[in-house]
Amino acid sequence: MSEIREVVIIGSGPAGYTAALYTARAQLRPLLFGSSIFVGGSLTTTTEVENFPGFPEGVDGPVLMENMRAQAEKFGAEMIDDDIVEVDLTGDIKLLTDSSGTVHRAKTVIIATGSGYRKLGLPNEDELSGRGVSWCATCDGFFFRDRDIVVVGGGDTAMEEATFLTRFARSVTVVHRRSTLRASQVMQNRAFADDKISFAFDSEIAEIKDQDGRLAAVVLRDVLTGATRDLDVTGLFIAIGHAPRTELFKGQLDLDEQGYLAVDAPSTRTNLPGVFAAGDVVDHTYRQAITAAASGCQAALDAERHLAALN
Ligand code: FAD
């Protein structure tokens, strides 16, 4: 039987590493499971991060994550690059099974499994991430000053991204598969009123073209006629939704109507005592590295207080 840990953390993004740093410094010897194939979380899929405080020259996403990990390890956090594939969070002692079948036991669990962006499913989409293709206008809009760009999607997020991007871009074309938008009327009105925004309705991205490893154009396909046309753009923002990584917890933890873990905000407490959640797996509003790190800190402090109350 494995020892009973004070804290086990699931997830190796800014939320998980920050929770590890704080719980390690509180002498709780955290054990963190950081995935078998995606160690370091979402920021490892980008290049320059310019909005994480403390780096006036910007910082490479993977480097930032390696530094966060090293900082937590320095204080004794233990990291295992493996997935948790099964959990039983209902008892006083939480049971977490890794991919080798080993069951780990813990008094508290911090869930920081993040959320994935929904993708178009085109072959070179991932390859061009950070090289013209983006899922986050707040993160990357600044790199597209005076450029022509495309935003894909018809919901509130797509309208918000498109409107925000007009601060930088020369033109923004919103590409949407249907003839009407799903976004709220107020968001639609704002987008329609913006001179820089035009719309390609009943259209989808059929192909992403690159030149020298960077996005150079997209091919639009009319979904009604099948006709295609090239659009020369150097930015493609995909805003077709998010998929919080909550599958593992369904049936045990409460989810909100959008599938994110529900917490007793402003705390990070879930519906089960001793189980806390932080970062993008909870947050469908801000979704930034700094907000994920901040809530990882909150989860660590909540777990620490929970443990103190047990003793
Ligand atoms: P994540 O970073 O998503 O990390 C979660 C980790 O948990 C992943 O590694 C995942 O594999 C792991 N995991 C999931 N399930 C399990 C399991 N069962 N077992 C073990 N591990 C598991 N934000 C900014 O502030 N600035 C930027 O410039 C910026 N640029 C971005 C660029 C890109 C391309 C992307 C995708 C995002 C960007 N973001 C940026 C957003 C930022 O990366 C996220 O908001 C942040 O990483 C969320 O942190 P997190 O810890 O909640 O989750």
Digitized pLDDT (tens) for each residue of the chain, 311 residues in all: 679 999 999 999 999 999 999 999 999 999 999 988 889 999 987 778 999 999 999 999 999 999 999 999 999 999 999 999 999 999 999 999 999 999 999 999 999 999 988 899 999 999 999 899 999 898 899 999 999 999 999 998 899 999 999 999 999 999 999 999 999 899 999 999 999 999 999 999 999 999 999 999 999 999 999 999 999 999 999 999 888 999 999 999 999 998 999 999 999 999 999 999 999 999 988 989 999 999 999 999 999 999 999 97
Strands 148-152 and 235-238, by their bridges, are: parallel
Short-list 10, 6, 25, CA closest to 248: 10
Amino acid at 127: E
The answer to ipTM > 0.95 is: yes
pTM for this prediction: 0.84
Would you call 297 a catalytic residue per the annotation?
no
pLDDT for the residue numbered 127: 92
Q: What is the torsion angle, in degrees rounded to the nearest 10, for the CA atoms of residue 226, residue 227, residue 233 and residue 237?
A: -20
Cα–ligand 1 centroid distance for 85 (angstroms): 18
Rounded to whole angstroms, the Cα distance separating 290 from 15 reads 9
| DSSP states of 19-47 | HHHHHHHTT---EEE--SS-TT-GGGG-S
**Contact 104/96 with Cβ under 8 angstroms?**
yes
User: Is 140 part of the annotated catalytic residue set?
Assistant: yes
pLDDT of residue 179: 96
What would the DSSP string read from start to end of 213-239? TEEEEEEEEETTT--EEEE--SEEEE-
Ligand 1: distance of its center to the CA of 309 in Å? 31
DSSP label at residue 196: T
Question: Closest Cα to atom 30, ligand 1: which residue?
Answer: 139
Amino acid letter, residue 240: I
- Tokens 């069951």 belong to 103
Pairing of strands 242-244, 171-175: unpaired
From 42, 161, 238, give the residue whose CB has the most ligand 1 atoms within 8 Å, as the site to mutate: 42
